[in-house]
Amino acid sequence: MGQKNTALVVGATGVVGRNLLRHLLSQEHWDVVSVSRRTPDVAGAYRHLSIDLLDLDDCKAKLEPEQGITHVFFSAYIEKEDWAATVAPNVAMLVNLMDAIEPSNPGLRHVNLMHGTKWYGNHLGPFKTPASEDDPRHMPPNFYYDQQDFITARQKGKAWTWSAARPHAICGFATGNPMNLVMVLAVYATISKALGLPLRHPGSRDNAKALFQVTDTAHLAKAVLWMSTSDQAANQPFNITNGDIFRWETMWPTFADYFGMDLAEPQRINLPLMMADKADLWSRLVNEHGLQPIPFESLVGWNYGSFVFTPEFDVISSMTKARQFGFHDVIDSTSMFLRQFDQLRTERVIPTL
């Protein structure tokens, strides 16, 4: 790809967005502009635009002057306790963005959407596994459907194309995000160890035995770049996971070794409730070990931990389509977790106890 592209990374402070930003900054032939309300804590040569995507006037004022955008990577996301309530704001952000950039960017070539396994209804209960991209939709609401329907309709007759990634349980270095499994695991293990407890899977035995999958952020970034620049992948959704599957019951012994802890039987706990009184303990660890002073309330999304450790059914997406269309990378999830724990130690987010 000799030609220069300009990426607009939307949702650049998110667990997906900031790692996509990092990946694009490491690539040749890409200029990068980022969008979110906060400024990303990512070093590198890019411009950041602080925009509230729910405010169309703000979008137009700051995005209309941008006239060289070739690729949009949309991973902005607004979390609501009620999944149905996620539809209106998450669709509005995408519509406002497209209304602001499309007229002034005739060179636009691609819009990538960031979706996930909730497309298949894993938040509702057991679903057909492995889930395939053309499986029938579940009963809406689901904002992924509305976003994809919007972008499919908007793309008709245009020179640009779209794609959508469907990852699961994204794991990568990021703090202050509601959905980051690595932070749940690392902080939960650290707190258990500081309390002198053995390491326990915090879900039921059936949850520990079910098959599960995760997606490494760097792997996801490579996949997104692939699907956004491959002609064959145009106008398609793709499942993107590490490409392996595992059971939590076989993962915890490795985690216990890593953190130097005894392993005990699974015990289902309510993570948001049980972690609610651990802020003082965390402050003590921060002081004793010189950790980054990240407020405990924004360190980990414990609700997300409950979401992962509650289901007693398999969560598996088929990676066949991505492979057939040309994306062949595979990540070993066990090594990924250990590598990411190492990074959290290096960045002084968790201590080496």
Cβ closest to ligand NAP, residue 167 vs residue 266: 167
> What is the pairing mode between strands 211-212 and 246-247?
antiparallel
Cβ closest to ligand NAP, residue 96 vs residue 261: 96
* Interaction site with ligand NAP (CB under 6 A): 11-17, 36-38, 51-54, 75-78, 93, 114, 116, 167-170, 177-179
Q: In 3D, which of 172, 115, 176, 101 has the Cα closest to residue 143?
A: 115
- Spatial distance between the Cα atoms of 91 and 148, rounded to a whole number of angstroms: 9
Least CB distance from residue 91 to ligand NAP, whole Å? 12
* DSSP reduced 3-state for 170: strand
> What is the pairing mode between strands 161-166 and 236-239?
parallel
Least CB distance from residue 59 to ligand NAP, whole Å? 9
3-state secondary structure 218-237: HHHHHHHHHHHHCHHHCCEE
Amino acid in the structure at residue 99: D
Least CB distance from residue 290 to ligand NAP, whole Å? 26
Least CB distance from residue 215 to ligand NAP, whole Å? 7
Amino acid in the structure at residue 79: E
Cβ closest to ligand NAP, residue 35 vs residue 108: 35
Least CB distance from residue 79 to ligand NAP, whole Å? 6
CA dihedral 244, 245, 247, 248 (to 10 degrees): 70
